[in-house]
A and B are shown apart, each in its own frame.
Chain A
Amino acid sequence: KNEVEQSPQNLTAQEGEFITINCSYSVGISALHWLQQHPGGGIVSLFMLSSGKKKHGRLIATINIQEKHSSLHITASHPRDSAVYICAVGGTNAGGTSYGKLTFGQGTILTVHP
């Protein structure tokens, strides 16, 4: 079973700071997802990536397949970025066919103060 570890568990920042959240996993994957969960509970998919780097607005996600590691960066952070950020990986079975189901990290609670 794939283990997914996120760090830090809690992160507090001042508005405008550059933020990095890390995710490490233990076995091979087909894709890695970064998700955002707001206090109301709903989850929004931010990125899905299997290699390299993706950028959307102030958010950047990178993945290093060899090191089994991904990072989520937020540039010029804003209080509205305050949320729980969740890393999740889509694994592969022994036969090499990927399942759609995901294994989730515990999440990183981000609080950005004005």
Chain B
Amino acid sequence: DGGITQSPKYLFRKEGQNVTLSCEQNLNHDAMYWYRQDPGQGLRLIYYSQIVNDFQKGDIAEGYSVSREKKESFPLTVTSAQKNPTAFYLCASSLGSSNTEAFFGQGTRLTVV
């Protein structure tokens, strides 16, 4: 079955440590996105990539980094520079052009202690 897989579902890290969240898709989509969701707020875009080896900052990129070495994979690293990393992180993909459906992963809940 085609879809997007995020792992792990729950992640705990100590303050000051970098952590990488995985996102893999087998939908052959060109575009992939990382969003952050906080209670009472809409999803906010962290980074997006419209093609392999290229990515752009979203609205809240500070303290995060990404790579897009393969079409299928778009990992997100939450660095120690992110001041408030505890949140729910969602990965999505789309064909990349306008008027296309977005597909979402199940999310990763990151808790930094």
Please report the total number of B residues contacting A with Cβ < 8 Å.
30
Flag whether B48 is at the interface (Cβ < 8 A).
Answer: yes
Closest-CB distance, B81 to chain A (whole angstroms): 23
What residues on A are CB-neighbors of B42 within 8 Å? Answer: 4, 86, 103-107
The segment out of A14-22, A44-52, A56-64, A70-78 that lies at the interface is: A44-52
- List residues of chain B with CB within 8 A of the CB of A44: 104
| Given known A-B contacts A4-B42, A40-B106, A42-B105, A101 and B58 have beta carbons under 8 A apart | yes
Q: Cβ of B90 < 8 Å from any Cβ of A?
A: yes
A33 to chain B: closest residue by CB: B102
In the complex, what residues of A have CB within 8 A of residue B64's CB?
A: none
A and B contact pairs by CB, cutoff 8 A, 29 listed: A30-B98, A31-B99, A33-B101, A35-B102, A35-B104, A41-B106, A41-B107, A42-B106, A42-B107, A45-B101, A48-B100, A48-B101, A48-B102, A86-B43, A88-B102, A90-B99, A92-B98, A98-B98, A98-B99, A100-B33, A100-B50, A100-B94, A100-B95, A100-B98, A101-B48, A102-B33, A102-B45, A105-B42, A106-B40
Query: Number of residues in A with C-beta < 8 Å to the partner?
Result: 28
B97 part of interface (Cβ distance < 8 Å): yes
- Which of A31, A100, A107 meets B31, CB within 8 Å? A100
Which 5 pairs from chain A and chain B are nearest by CB? A98-B98, A104-B42, A43-B104, A42-B106, A41-B107
Q: Which residues of A contact B (CB under 8 A)?
A: 4, 30-31, 33, 35, 40-45, 48, 50, 86, 88, 90, 92, 97-107
Chain B residues within CB distance 8 Å of chain A: 31, 33, 35, 40-45, 48, 50, 58, 88, 90, 92, 94-107, 109
State A16–B96 Cα separation when bound (angstroms): 38
Closest Cβ of chain A: how far from B52's Cβ, in Å? 15
Docked CA distance A106–B19 (Å): 27
